[in-house]
Amino acid sequence: MGQYVAPLRDMQFVLHELLEVEGELKQLPRHAEIDAEIINQLLEEGGKFTSKVLFPLNHSGDREGCHLDRETHQVTTPKGFKEAYRQYVEAGWPALSCDPEHGGQGLPLVVNNAFYEMMNSANQAWTMYPGLSHGAYECLHEHGTPEQQRLYLPKLVSGEWTGTMCLTEAHCGTDLGLLRTKAEPQADGSFKITGAKIFISAGEHDLAENIVHLVLARLPDAPAGTRGISLFLVPKFVPEADGSLGPRNPIFCGALEEKMGIHGNSTCQMNLDGATGWLIGEPNKGLNAMFVMMNAARLGVGMQSLGLTEVAYQNAVVYAKDRIQMRSLSGVKAPDRPADPIIVHPDVRRMLLTARAYAEGARAFCSFVALTIDKELNHPDESVRKDSADLVALLTPVIKAFITDNGWIATSEAMQVYGGHGYIAEWGMEQYVRDARINMIYEGTNTIQSLDLLGRKILMDNGAKLKKFGALVTAFVEENGTDETMNEFVTPLADLGGKVTKLTMEIGMRAFQNQDEVGAAAVPYLRVVGHLVYAYFFARMAKIALAKRDSGDGFYTAKLATARFYFARLLPETAMLIRQARSGAANLLDLEADLF
């Protein structure tokens, strides 16, 4: 079923030439000894594991899906998933970026991020099992008690146990202030948790011996709304003091959701019937603690769609070079064949370059944010940590929404390259489209991400975070503005930066009069900001490629061509988006609801 080859050359370009991670990491005492050779060795081994172990299970896992035994409440994952997880654990991959204090390898997140791109390309459904564990690890690492950390973190780091986050309920969706799950305090300091959760990815499975659920619930005296939500640690098996498994906790999978895609991952309806749990963090401050995991998940979902974009592109290219149909409009290109390969046709090139550009832009963007998180957590200068935290907060909703939107576009274009074979399951392309469409919805719909970006991250602080990213753009423009060879990249970048500033101020002024103006403008606004981010990174990558275009390495020729395609064919979308954002709320709200 197709193929996947880790894009090591482009990953190395982004890490070493674009971001210069070795020099950046030397400023972080914790990672100062990490060099390019170590990073490249890890990427090469990760490429072998993902292409040889995970990718062969992707299509079969989608066709087989997960199975629930309703009597025992046990879920069986697709054939081969459990063995692949065993190999993953034995190779030490779960511990890659975790704290050595708890058994981790202590490597920077930017390296772990590249490995996760490979895993998502090879098998997104499988990758969600260990992926959610990282979020649980981060939450407990930051907010867990010393005893919770001692008991749970080593098991999560080793991969012996996995984690989930149990937020959503059937009646509330994203509006978590409406949740009803209850937590009753017990004399021993624990709580009895009762309620029902839905859409819980990896909520029950047979890969690991224990599952650590992080559950949002209400204490008896909790205030209404989000101010009354607490976070609890609820294990599948209650561990003994030495970490061995104790009694089975009454948190069970009641049903598996029948999804349009990502069939190899068990998305569960979880029922808690007086399950024993322990408070994480402060009472009624559960969302504050859970946001660590939620933000990690949002970054992870962006990475999922980057992975799908890359693997769909790779397979579409192979098909386009092999499939022959008609002749080129400009003359025969393959005289020894009865027809030309379809890659000669301009619109096939457009589809392939769209997917390629969205993959390469996302890779640069995600790697930058991962490196920025490393700075936020480890830089010795407090001001650098603060600026890094602000950039990560600003860009997290953009990663989730913009990359998943683009993943849907790119996988659809890649499927289109196949023509009628694209929607036939045996070719594997329609699976990527189905999976990519889900990524736009879960972990907070892309509309929610857009509202978060415009309303909370930008307007609430009068654009302070946005100005910090804008300063990066301005510095690049000023540095390269007089270079004639860079004009085709710098001029549109500078133009868009000015338009974003003006648009932000205009929406902010309207919002003083009517908050619906924020909701009306948010989605196109986020895409405009996403394009500003991509334009910045493509301009930086083009500068490197221009300097090395005479090196004889075709990689730089291709990089420059992809950057030119992005600026010529994809960036102009912003003109339409800006007009949409400026059109106001009236055209959406004037029609009375009963007339729909």
Q: Percent of the chain beyond pLDDT 70?
A: 100
Q: What is the pLDDT of residue 301?
A: 96
Tens digit of pLDDT for each residue in 421-450? Answer: 999 999 999 999 999 999 999 999 999 999
CATH number of 8-143: 1.10.540.10
Band (pLDDT 50/70/90 cuts) for residue 290 is confident
Both tokens of residue 595?
């007339």
Q: Beta partners for 251?
A: 272
End-to-end Cα spacing for the chain: 45
Band (pLDDT 50/70/90 cuts) for residue 293 is confident
C-alpha span between 149 and 138 (Å, rounded):
11
Positions marked catalytic: 443
Nearest Cα neighbor of 215 from 258, 301, 276, 172 is 276
Nearest Cα neighbor of 224 from 268, 282, 178 is 178
Band (pLDDT 50/70/90 cuts) for residue 6 is very high
Please state, as a whole number, how many other Cβ atoms lie within 10 Å of the Cβ of residue 242. Answer: 6
CATH architecture of structural domain 161-290: Beta Barrel (2.40)
Tens digit of pLDDT for each residue in 84-97? Answer: 999 999 999 999 99
C-alpha span between 506 and 276 (Å, rounded):
51
Tens digit of pLDDT for each residue in 54-74? Answer: 999 999 999 999 999 999 999
- DSSP line for 176-229: GGG---EEEE-TTS-EEEEEEEEEEETSS-SSSSEEEEEEEEB-TTPPSGGGG-
C-alpha span between 550 and 151 (Å, rounded):
57
Amino acid, single-letter form, for residue 376: E
C-alpha span between 70 and 412 (Å, rounded):
36
Q: What is the pLDDT of residue 533?
A: 98
Q: Decide if 210 contacts 161 (C-beta within 8 A).
A: yes
